[in-house]
A and B are shown apart, each in its own frame.
Chain A
């Protein structure tokens, strides 16, 4: 049985207070190019995405994750499309094996829009087709060990699909922040052995800018152990968050099961870096708790080592460091995981709480 050791540091962090908003979109004479309806139907090819198949289910999950946004917009996904066509008035998605079509890209979005003046400006999205490349090393599995960002050999299909449907919504690429509209495969959440794809704060912000906030309630906070690294052309690149000593130097680490495991000393003061996101409708100030765990799953059943509060505004992701002390009674030569849970007292009603926790692996010297 784990011993609870509560140390309250009274941490208060206000994050995401930058005034600039995230996201990008196309315009027509200053007007945002978007759908003229808040609900758009996407049709899945019966050849590529049979209903109930692994890829069909992965596609549905991806659409669901895009729809988990605080705007009025959502996609409805229909299976069983038997006649794929371009410019046929239908938004469709399918796989192609034709190199003349995919040209080596893992996926392409073919977006039709209009912008012209005729007794006033006319503008909007007309149709979007999303085509995936059969040659890309996709997997529908979200088991971390399979996935590129965790040292695996496969590209998560869900993150790519969410990125493409972000385009279908009207969003462009993003290279300024940690965003699904950047390098999608490293925009991912993990707590435990399974990773989770999601739309994220930047996508949420973009959806609200284009379509307005939902009239109802929609709140969601999340923590992830990835952060913004830099730019690769139009795309943001991301890297794992890090563990620092009290002088802000990155602690030494080694690769363990595809993730960085940091070497710490008993009683050492460290700074845990995580990225917090507000994927919901309104700014939130909630409690945050920090834990030591004997596995990579952080829960409130783990050993509590600190608490605080955090303010997450919905504009852009916030990567932050928290001052913690590694307990002095941990066992040398043993693997642990240090992590956090946002809204650990469940005060906020969220669309999902699965993404409220994340971690970094450590090894006690």
Chain B
């Protein structure tokens, strides 16, 4: 399910409450519609390790309790924050391919990214070998390098806004065409009855990966100054046996919504009669 963390909460507010902003923005030609702010400080605070790198290997292994996991290994290009334990970093995600004899099964975990060998990314890694998705806010902790242009995990171009912050635009860079290499999670294609969205022109305010990395390094120094000495980040190892997180059920949250009725007009006798009549009619407005 789509989450609404810090930066996505802005989206829902914009979509519902700010019709005027949305209308104005969508009428603009030069700048694509900005959909959500990228809160780099929050991501840096959450991350144990931030780096740029390229996927060089993808493997699968079951946990001791029989749950397939995907091990994605990156060749580290540039460290932005944190201390990796080597020139390669391996991340462990719950889900993936499992083969027992001739039977091949897949575990798909929704809201987690998919990887291919050759992907070049900027990653905010958090709680590796612990969290089922070891990226800060999962999908939000991965940015793609598409020929030097920075995009979100799903290919939307990151732009620089007027106040010099970063935002995810509505412009989508098409996926690389050609032969798919090793696929991190789903080997089967998703079939839709219409085509993928067409690639849009790169916005003029699109952020280059190089600039993003430079800005992150400056911000990372501010974050690091408030932390104690950073421990070395430990890669996951496919040679190690491990257990997947226990999924013990918890009680549902306490109901926090008040039972308030917010009315702007005082109901008339007719209104009250009408409400009662529709209620007695099982909600059917045809009386």
Contacts and interface: CB of A to CB of B under 8 A. Distances in A.
- Say which size band chain B's interface belongs to: 35 or more
B267 interface: yes
A100 interface: yes
A106 B284 contact: no
Contacts of A191: 285
Interface string B256-267: 111111111101
B154 A234 contact: yes
B251 interface: yes
B1 A295 contact: no
Nearest to A249: B23
B3 interface: yes
Contacts of A26: 186, 188-191
Given A108-B1, A141-B255, A23 B193 contact: yes
A320 interface: no
A143 interface: yes
Interface stretch (B53-61, B76-84, B104-112): B104-112
Contacts, number: 297
Contacts of B5: 104
A84 B191 CA distance: 32
Interface residues of A, number: 124
B197 interface: yes
A250 B19 contact: yes
B274 A301 contact: yes
B104 to A, nearest CB: 4
B138 interface: yes
Given A185-B12, A295-B275, A33 B188 contact: yes
A40 to B, nearest CB: 17
B104 A114 contact: yes
Interface string A177-191: 000001111100001
B262 A299 contact: no
Q: Considering residues A1, A111, A182, A258, which has the most beta carbons from chain B within 10 angstroms of its beta carbon?
A: A111
Interface in B230-287: 244-253, 255-265, 267-268, 270-271, 274-275, 277-278, 282-287
Contacts of A298: 285
A304 to B, nearest CB: 12
Interface of B: 1-5, 8, 11-12, 15-17, 19, 22-23, 26, 33, 35-36, 65-67, 95, 102-111, 127, 130-133, 137-139, 152-154, 156, 170, 172, 186-194, 197, 244-253, 255-265, 267-268, 270-271, 274-275, 277-278, 282-287
